[in-house]
Amino acid sequence: MDKLVREYVTKQPAKSLYLRWKLGIDILLEASNPDAAYDSSARDYAPRCQPGTREQYIEDIFSWVAPAVGTDEPPPLFWMKGLAGVGKSAIAQTCAEKLKDLGKLGAAFFFAVKVRDNAEQFFPTIAYQLSTEFPDYRDLLDQRIRRDRTILKKTMAIQFKELIAEPFQELEKTGRGIGQRMVIIIDGLDECEKADDQSRIVKIIAASARDSATPFCWAFFSRPEPHIEASFTSDDVAQVTYKAELPISGDANSDIELYLRSGFENILRHRNIPVTSQWPSDNDIQALVKASEGLFVYAATALRDVDQAESLEEALRVICTATSSPSDSSPFAGLNTVYMLIMRRIPSKKLPTVLLLCRILCSAGSYSGSGYTSGIMQWSNLQGLSKIGFQEACNQLSAVLHVHDHSDSFNPSRFGNTNRPFWHTTPAFVQELRVHVHARLGGSIHFYHKSFCDFLTDPTRSGPFCITSSPMRNAYFKHCLEVMLKYEEGYGFQGSGEL
């Protein structure tokens, strides 16, 4: 028999054999989105809670995951809702890290518009992460996918059943269950591409929870979009869901104050200034806390704006003065004021370039850790700018825009064994490697928070800086046309004698 196998192997092309005997778990990885994990390098700058802040909300989640002895087991679903900027993602990230340390995190998926918003990748990503935690489950999953590779092309309901529910049920029947309550975290559900898919994910998981089809509990963090609210308040979902709200409220003031004091101490340390100095004053801190109106994103933006300034005292004075009497009564009044300060500082000659950059980045969904779709070289080429010119444009938005240099962090080996010939790879491997290199040429950029895009696209908030105004749309169209015509100059038809 061994002789026959050796003869067969000898006659087969190496690439054909590789594809034929490819592991099911590798196929699953290719269908997943590794960047959605809580510890992905694509989310190096994910928001986190400062020590001592948001403690009650974090404790509530931990009590839900691991209830006290003698108490009733809480429902298997948890939904924390809240408006933009209140700190949902920071709580989700902090809980994921703490739960991982305690061995209670099964998996996590952090959605982001235009980057991690594909519902087809959701359950494969969860399944792959779970496979790294449970070897027996990994073996079952590998066999299932090798037996039927079309699983990954089926509906989300079938994917959930065949990739997650049935394998864990089989393990439980054979005495190899996980033996404890573990949590799967889903952040930014509202940023999944299609509203129907957002609702479908909730319904699929809720149905499995009612039937006790999996040993997991599921924590969702999202904005209270109407269709998501409707999904969680429907009778069949509500009965298995614990609901919590992260409000815009003065109750968060003490946490925001602690966050600000810690942030200013870090700024002083970075500039080698003794933290025992009397800056900022208590009055300054209280003014910022009041202006935040319960929004952590306001405090974070104010800290970055001060940190980027040449004069710390002057920058803080301007912010405190501007936000002492906000011009509108909306819950985003203080945040609007800070964003307007940032935009008004931009020199008039550079403003068109900066607004065009904002338009391009917002259109691409490049925020909240999402700036890995294209590298700085790509963005600067789209604007027709040199590296220095592009950097100057980015510098105008340093309080809201992060520029990350990847020159020392790129490691091709993360995509596979680079010591083997490329015919050992798959097209998906080559495509991922190409996209990854392309995404990091010159570094990458992203807005720190989606609230800045919300501000820029709402004319009632951003006024003359709105990127969806008619003049801005016309300027964007004109620019795209110029780029297209410029690229066209380098194209030629085969056989025409032109290059």
In the chain, the amino acid numbered 389 is G
In the chain, the amino acid numbered 359 is R
- Name the residue among 173, 31, 64, 84 with its Cα closest to residue 452: 84
**3-class DSSP assignment, residue 151:** helix
Check residue 162 and report its DSSP letter.
Answer: I
Residue 235: per-residue pLDDT: 93
Residue 498: per-residue pLDDT: 47
> Full-prediction pTM beyond 0.85?
no
Q: How far apart are CA 264 and CA 274, in angstroms?
A: 11
Report residue 495: phi and psi, to 5°. Answer: 90, -5
Ranges of H-type helices in 66-160: 88-101, 122-133, 135-147, 156-159
pLDDT tens for each residue of the chain, 499 residues long: 445 545 554 555 544 444 455 789 999 999 999 999 999 987 876 788 988 889 999 999 999 998 888 888 899 999 999 988 888 999 999 999 999 999 999 999 999 877 788 999 999 999 999 999 999 999 999 999 999 999 999 999 999 999 999 999 999 999 998 888 899 999 999 999 899 999 999 999 999 999 988 999 999 999 999 999 999 999 999 999 999 999 887 778 899 999 999 999 999 998 888 887 789 999 999 999 999 888 888 999 999 999 988 899 999 999 998 887 766 667 788 899 999 999 999 999 999 999 999 988 887 654 444 433 456 777 787 788 888 888 888 899 988 888 776 554 455 555 555 555 544 555 555 555 555 555 556 677 878 888 898 899 999 999 999 999 998 989 888 888 887 787 666 555 455 554 4
Handedness of CA 478, 484, 490, 493 (dihedral sign): negative
Task: Collect all residues with Cβ–Cβ distance below 8 Å to 56 and sequence separation of at least 6.
Answer: none
Check residue 116 and report its DSSP letter.
Answer: B
What CA dihedral angle connects 43, 46, 51 and 55, to 10 degrees?
Answer: -110
Q: Domain residues of the chain, as ranges?
A: 23-245, 250-344, 351-405+442-487
Strands 77-81 and 241-245: parallel
- Name the residue among 134, 139, 121 with its Cα closest to residue 25: 139
**Which fold does the domain 351-405+442-487 belong to in CATH?**
Arc Repressor Mutant, subunit A (1.10.10)
Question: CA angle, 97 as apex, 450 and 46 as ends, to 5°?
Answer: 20
**3-class DSSP assignment, residue 192:** coil
CATH number of 23-245: 3.40.50.300
